[in-house]
Structure 1
Amino acid sequence: MADEVDYGFDGLMDDPEDYYPPTPPPTSQVFTMQSGKPITLHLVGASPTEAHHLWNGAKMIADFFEDDPSRVRGKTVLELGAAAGLPSLVAAILGARKVVVTDFPDPDIIKIMQKNIDECDETVEPKGHIADVVDAVGFVWGADPLPLLAHLNPTQPEDPKDRFDILILADLLFRHSEHGALIKTIRETMRVSRDSVAYVFFTSYRPWKKEADERFFDIAREQGFEVEQIAERRLDKPLFENDPGDLEVQKTVRGFAVKWSAEACS
């Protein structure tokens, strides 16, 4: 075969260096507890799972725990879709016995969660306590829960008594297709007791899909859980300014408790 002729077109079809926008850099925010303690929270610069936001639901759950620390003190806590993991860190500061903070198993997200744990640990006495109490783990909703339960009892993760007392779901309900997977994870990880609670706090950021957000609770009731609204807060402004839809709905954060029924616990 004859040698190919070089017409000087090398790289002609290559994308220019600036063809794709660069990935935004990580960001950070400071959340101040009601006690005055600041917590620095790092976030990934961008994420298809929306882990680059510090959601209003997470802030409200953090305040909710601080209003009554007995809600988490001495208890085991699992947070789903945590992003920065603010409620988990506050739970640990307030005396939770064990906290497992989870999000989609993206290495960048897990690294950020661990960074938040490590930096929080440096500001809390005794040093090493937060790092010992809080574990950052990748988890897909609805997946095998045994790797999560193993953090409670590494020697016997299959023991049904070793489940979490408290679950945290902050601003996850906009993912309508995942409602079933979220409830499956609640069912498989929450200790079967009337004292166990899954705290579900959220805003309907897309007001026209508010009913679809709330279907989560219909599914929970259909599966035998009890659902009760326990909190509501009207903010001064929405998280996403200039978004379409009812502004009052966008500014409202609501909190619900999802619990095992008396029949399930008997």
Structure 2
Amino acid sequence: MDEEELIETDLFKEPEDFYKEAPKPHFVKYKRKKDTSNNEIELRLVGSSPLWGHMLWNAGIYTAEYLDKHADELVKGKKVLELGAAAALPSLICALNGCEKIVSTDYPDNDLIENIEYNFDHCKGIDRSKAKVAGYLWGSDVTPLFDVQDGQVKEEDKFDLLVLADLVFNHSEHRKLLKTCRESLKRTGLCLVVFTPHRPRLLDRDLDFFKLCEEYGLKAEQKDLDRWHPMFEEDEETTEIRSRIYCYHLVPTW
């Protein structure tokens, strides 16, 4: 064989770091401001997620604090559904505050759903019989979210409170989210929507969600605009916008 025909044996060899080990789940501790015996929650977060479920976001922490503060009004004795729950901190807070039922959902990815199950199983003070964890695609049939025998969801089966923490950044899914809200919420209930503008130049598109909700019989009421330290150090010119945490109630008008 000519020297020119010799093939380098490691030509197709993968780089040493080609097969990187998947990031492992990690833990964070959340300390509640509420004076209670269960004042610290250890959360397990997935190692990585294209759906950003591997981080505990400011909006999720704000939502947990808001639910603790308004538990008597919004949570105690209520049926609650959380969409896009990630590590499910708001769901856990609802369970600890004596909701009648909590259904905690996220995209039907095994790692995400198993992680939510883990957090419920390892959170002290929760009545596990009142908690359901499920994979759910926004805009799909809501019937599986309810414990109904005949497949018929009645008004009394529906949820008193829907929790949407840091979901409106997903602009293409606005209508699907609102469809689920419309079909699963009681006439006397409300949706709690909290978000941070992660992409400042697209803030108007985030806010379009609250205009679109009118088409689904929901009236948006802004309850708060708080400012926290941004999670990432990026462009200083956008710091103020990225520090914002918006809080809305969506109230049924049907």
- Using the size of structure 1 for normalisation, the TM-score is 0.86
What pairs up with 1:138-177 in 2 under 5 angstroms? 138-150=135-147, 154-161=148-155, 162-177=157-172
Do structure 1's residue 48 and structure 2's residue 45 form an aligned pair?
no
**1:244: how far off?**
6.4
- Runs of 5+ consecutive residues of structure 1 not aligned to the other structure: 1-6
**2:174 alignment counterpart:** 179
Q: Show structure 1 runs of 4+ deviating over 4 A.
A: 7-12
Do structure 1's residue 228 and structure 2's residue 225 form an aligned pair?
no
**2:82 alignment counterpart:** 79
RMSD of aligned residue pairs (Cα, Å): 1.8
**1:39 alignment counterpart:** 41
Check the 8 A contact 1:207/1:245 in 2, yes or no.
Answer: no
- Over residues 116-136 of structure 1, what are the superposed CA-to-partner deviations in whole Å (9 max), with x where a residue is unaligned? 00110xx21xxxx43111111
Check the 8 A contact 1:208/1:245 in 2, yes or no.
Answer: no
Number of aligned residues: 244
What pairs up with 1:92-171 in 2 under 5 angstroms? 92-120=95-123, 123-124=124-125, 129-150=126-147, 154-161=148-155, 162-171=157-166
- 1:246 match: secondary structure: helix
Q: Distance in 1 between matches of 2:42 and 2:154?
A: 36
Check the 8 A contact 1:225/1:259 in 2, yes or no.
Answer: yes
Q: Distance in 2 between matches of 1:224 and 1:17?
A: 56
Distance 1:105 1:14, change over 3 A: farther
Q: Distance in 2 between matches of 1:133 and 1:10?
A: 60
Do structure 1's residue 260 and structure 2's residue 252 form an aligned pair?
yes
Q: 1:251 aligns with which of 238, 243, 247?
A: 243
Q: Distance in 2 between matches of 1:243 and 1:167?
A: 34
- Using the size of structure 2 for normalisation, the TM-score is 0.90
Distance 1:15 1:130, change over 3 A: farther
**1:157: how far off?**
4.1
1:143 corresponds to which letter in structure 2?
S
- 2:120 match: secondary structure: helix
Q: Distance in 2 between matches of 1:100 and 1:155?
A: 17
Identity, % of aligned positions: 36
- Runs of 5+ consecutive residues of structure 2 not aligned to the other structure: 1-5
**1:106: how far off?**
0.7
Check the 8 A contact 2:178/2:213 in 1, yes or no.
Answer: yes
- 2:168 match: secondary structure: coil
**1:256: how far off?**
0.3
Distance 1:211 1:130, change over 3 A: same
Check the 8 A contact 1:89/1:134 in 2, yes or no.
Answer: no
